[in-house]
Amino acid sequence: MATVTLLACTPEPEKLVAAAAKLCYSPSSIETIREGLTEEKTSSFVQMLAEIGHESPIEHASFTFGIEGVSRSFLAQITRHRIASYSVQSQRYVAEDSFAYVVPPEIEAIPEAKEEFLAAMREDQAHYERLTALLKEKHREELLREGKTEKEADRAAEKRAIEDARFVLPNACETKMVCTFNARSLLNFFSHRCCNRAQWEIRDVACQMLALVREAAPHIFEKAGPPCLRGACPEGKMTCGKAAEVRRKFGGEV
């Protein structure tokens, strides 16, 4: 399953946000905006921003995560959140020999479904390896004719081969990434992806991320999570109908 690590974040993120907000609402100079920002006053500034909906100062705080054990399907979802930065392990440059994969819990729970899934993964691996070998041999011969040494031809041929062989790999194929969000983008991310209606894999990652940033910046993320924590569910007829349960979950441990 997915593992999320908070690799880095803005030092004293809430104090930085409070300093930026203080500059907006007082005659303070750049040299003095951090003066007097006790923990109490910092909390007060952050709370005020939430109450009046002034979210731009929150963008000055950023958080960088390491995420591993997730599928390429997850990758397609998280990169829809465009105000973020992503570095993903490449299938073009990294060969997927005996590739790892994510098994959905619903498939894991049914022995026959799991057996079918594992058979598909073995078949995909066999096709990937066969395609890689066929393409590598073709490219190797071409490169040798161009005057490359055997070592140079082997290295370049493999890179060219896996570039096309990867097309047979499944959405289940595991990947890993480093991603950076500013705090405002994270609040939006948590609103969408901690919701019960979010797909299970990205919801799990989002909840792990929220638990980590709550430790680093508890006031900024105090009310973070699905929209039903802050009012009525906006999903209408598509609501999960479990708002009370969700509120209990996010009011305590994420």
Catalytic residues: 193
User: Considering only CA atoms, which of 181, 225, 175 is closest in space to residue 6?
Assistant: 181
Residue 162 among known ligand-binding residues:
no
Residue 78 labeled ligand binder: yes
Q: Does 82 carry a binding-site annotation?
A: yes
SS (H, E, C) 187-229: HHHHHHHCCCCCCHHHHHHHHHHHHHHHHHCCCCCCCCCCHHH
Neighbouring residues of 241: CB distance < 8 A, sequence distance ≥ 6: none
- The answer on whether 122 is annotated among ligand-binding residues is no
166 is annotated as contributing to ligand binding = yes
Q: Is 56 annotated as a binding residue?
A: yes
- Cβ–Cβ under 8 Å, residues 153 and 140: yes
- The reply to whether 80 sits in an annotated binding site is yes
DSSP 8-state secondary structure symbol assigned to residue 232 = S
CB 181 within 8 A of CB 83: yes
180 among the known binding-site residues?
no
- 92 in a labelled binding site: yes
- Are 229 and 247 in contact by the 8 Å Cβ rule? The answer is yes
Write the CB contacts of 254 (distance below 8 Å, at least 6 apart in sequence): 207, 208, 210, 211, 214, 225
Question: Of 51, 59, 52, which Cα lies nearest the Cα of 20?
Answer: 59
Start-end of H helices in the chain: 13-25, 39-52, 72-78, 105-108, 111-145, 150-165, 183-193, 200-216, 243-251
Query: Which residues does the annotation place in the binding site for dUMP?
Result: 77-80, 90-92, 166, 193
Query: Which residues does the annotation place in the binding site for FAD?
Result: 56, 80-82, 182-184, 188
Query: Which residues does the annotation place in the binding site?
Result: 56, 77-82, 90-92, 166, 182-184, 188, 193
